[in-house]
Structure 1
């Protein structure tokens, strides 16, 4: 028998073919394949033989993944992070561990390091049954799993939503948080507010930018709004962006930064340029970095409940595994605007023409 050409998993790696792939090749439902491979008499001998031949030629291995997922026999959950060194991840992972340890379930943490190949390799732990479920902190659904919709009920995204609406999401309302932060700056008399944003392709940074724009529009300052989407959201990106801002003839009197690290870098350069913070330029960040309170001046920021996000995300994943269903509505936790010295009352628009 010659198998038809296939895409996705079967084309890339025969060993990873699934019941869904076999069903597609045989022109039957996945449930029929499952019954045929288990020897059920409910399937005709001819169909059973055809399915068995397809499975054999495709290299299918019945490793009881689905049964393992339902029963949590692996007793391990995989957490995928983009960078293991990021300051925000330990609190989230701690919350995940707290939710899982009472069920005697372990946590495997894997860092993608920006590599799609690494991402796919990690995702295969869910496919092979090494992990019972997957928690994403990187905002990306591995391509390997995008071709296997039966696994979406075993995945939860925390903090960063993924493009697939079937994936459960636990986070905060970033747009609303940015509105509140911008409105606070407006309440201080600031009206030349700039938004220093992160990568435009990120749903988080897009939402924060939209919240800023909404607040400026509501204040009648839409034509004065300005968003700078940067390629990164670290300290060096903040420093570089602030150097460009300081080269202008007119400066903003406040900057809403999409991350605390952007704010740290921007404030450093502002102070090097003899700009008084917050008297001339006020700053608000995002994420409540541990350094923020000790920074000079202490950074006003949006505090994200990272540990609670991890705990609820893990609880949600357990519920998905037990009930084998989707949770399509995002679960949004409350955030807090922590007012510190970096956005004091100031004197409103400040920068004289240079």
Structure 2
């Protein structure tokens, strides 16, 4: 294995000079740094992370802790952050929690032990107190979800407004029995989206409790079973709003299985704009999320914070608006009513 001493011998300089050049020490000239890095690359030098950690030097790794990489929403975030960080000389280290607080704690412990440069986290509903303590030892920022105990640096989406716009669209089309299938309100995103749904109901009306189905936002099976329950009601909804990407997937799967068509049998507004959503039926009306731009903004801001190396960064919040994308899966209730008899027959088989 090539060492710093090997590079120093090749350049006929001291090992300390090589070490400082590789660490981008300001005491070393730009010319020397360039020569050292060129020779290091030529000789195939790989930095010894363990040795750097013993000297208290942060690695060039940035941890990303999120619930589920299988969700296209989070995959896009990971990809955008990876590209953003690479451009700044950092590498992304990915951890999945499956929204389990103990898995989350283990991930944070491993990242802390690797002396990462910082951590970007989509936190679980109730992070362990040890998770909170460890996060405060490293630069960190919350993404999408926010917990006051973790800190005041957060990049997110206006979840309340997103679902408000989706529900109001259906209200303006004449729908009154509007079902909502979303995440539980123990998550800040779930609570905010549910608030948007209730806020959009006409005249401040309270929704029929039977029309609101709440579960794990990352579980398409819940979405599938929830739409079954709503369709089996004696007074079924005429429209549905989804509150997560994977619940939307479950809803669409079940509607397709039952042979129900939007908007003939039911108007549907999804959440997120996965590639297949625009091709489903007549095209899914859905809440478009600024995922790539949000992740890139978060990454650029975080790199700046790491380089500033400020012990107690000032509170910072960035909220990005969602956009309602209108396609063919929604229409006026009066028009949809023409096929209600056929829909009711299909619903009886659920």
* TM-score interval (norm. to shorter): 0.7 to 0.9
Q: Which residue of 2 aligns with 1:144?
A: 130
- Mapped to 1, the partners of 2:221 and 2:120 lie a distance apart of 29
- Mapped to 2, the partners of 1:99 and 1:76 lie a distance apart of 13
- Mapped to 2, the partners of 1:280 and 1:326 lie a distance apart of 52
- Mapped to 1, the partners of 2:54 and 2:253 lie a distance apart of 55
Q: 1:128 aligned to 97, 113, 134, which one?
A: 113
Q: TM-score, normalised by structure 1?
A: 0.72
Structure 1 position 345, deviation (Å): 3.3
- Mapped to 2, the partners of 1:306 and 1:336 lie a distance apart of 11
Q: Which residue of 2 aligns with 1:212?
A: 197
1:326 and 2:310 aligned: no
- RCO comparison, higher one (Cα < 8 Å, 6+): 1
Structure 1 position 111, deviation (Å): 1.7
Using a 3 Å threshold, how does the CA distance of structure 1 residues 265 and 123 change in structure 2: closer, same or farther? closer
Q: TM-score, normalised by structure 2?
A: 0.72
Residue 279 of structure 2 aligns to a residue whose secondary structure is coil
1:222 and 2:206 aligned: yes
1:241 and 2:226 aligned: yes
Deviations 1:297-331 (A, max 9, x none): 42111111111121111222223332333343421
Deviations 1:160-205 (A, max 9, x none): 2234262411111100111111111111111111111122321111
Using a 3 Å threshold, how does the CA distance of structure 1 residues 347 and 167 change in structure 2: closer, same or farther? same
Using a 3 Å threshold, how does the CA distance of structure 1 residues 148 and 186 change in structure 2: closer, same or farther? same
Residue 141 of structure 2 aligns to a residue whose secondary structure is strand
- Mapped to 2, the partners of 1:150 and 1:231 lie a distance apart of 28
- Mapped to 2, the partners of 1:150 and 1:165 lie a distance apart of 7
Q: Which residue of 2 aligns with 1:82?
A: 67
Structure 1 position 272, deviation (Å): 4.5
Contact map agreement 1:139 1:157 (CA 8 A) in 2: no
Using a 3 Å threshold, how does the CA distance of structure 1 residues 181 and 318 change in structure 2: closer, same or farther? same
1:166 and 2:151 aligned: yes
- Mapped to 1, the partners of 2:332 and 2:61 lie a distance apart of 50
- Mapped to 2, the partners of 1:173 and 1:109 lie a distance apart of 25
Residue 308 of structure 1 aligns to a residue whose secondary structure is helix
- Mapped to 2, the partners of 1:280 and 1:239 lie a distance apart of 17
Q: Which residue of 2 aligns with 1:10?
A: none
Structure 1 position 211, deviation (Å): 0.5
Structure 1 position 126, deviation (Å): 4.3
Aligned residues: 285
Contact map agreement 2:61 2:93 (CA 8 A) in 1: yes
- Mapped to 2, the partners of 1:349 and 1:297 lie a distance apart of 14
Contact map agreement 2:263 2:336 (CA 8 A) in 1: no
Matches within 5 A, 1:201-350: 201-216=186-201, 219-222=203-206, 224=208, 226-273=211-258, 275-321=260-306, 322=308, 323-347=310-334, 350=337
Gaps of 5+ in 2: 1-52, 346-350
RMSD: 2.7
Contact map agreement 1:156 1:316 (CA 8 A) in 2: no
- Mapped to 2, the partners of 1:84 and 1:191 lie a distance apart of 36
Structure 1 position 74, deviation (Å): 1.0
Deviations 1:128-180 (A, max 9, x none): 353110011344645433234742x6111112223426241111110011111
Q: 1:176 aligned to 145, 161, 166, which one?
A: 161
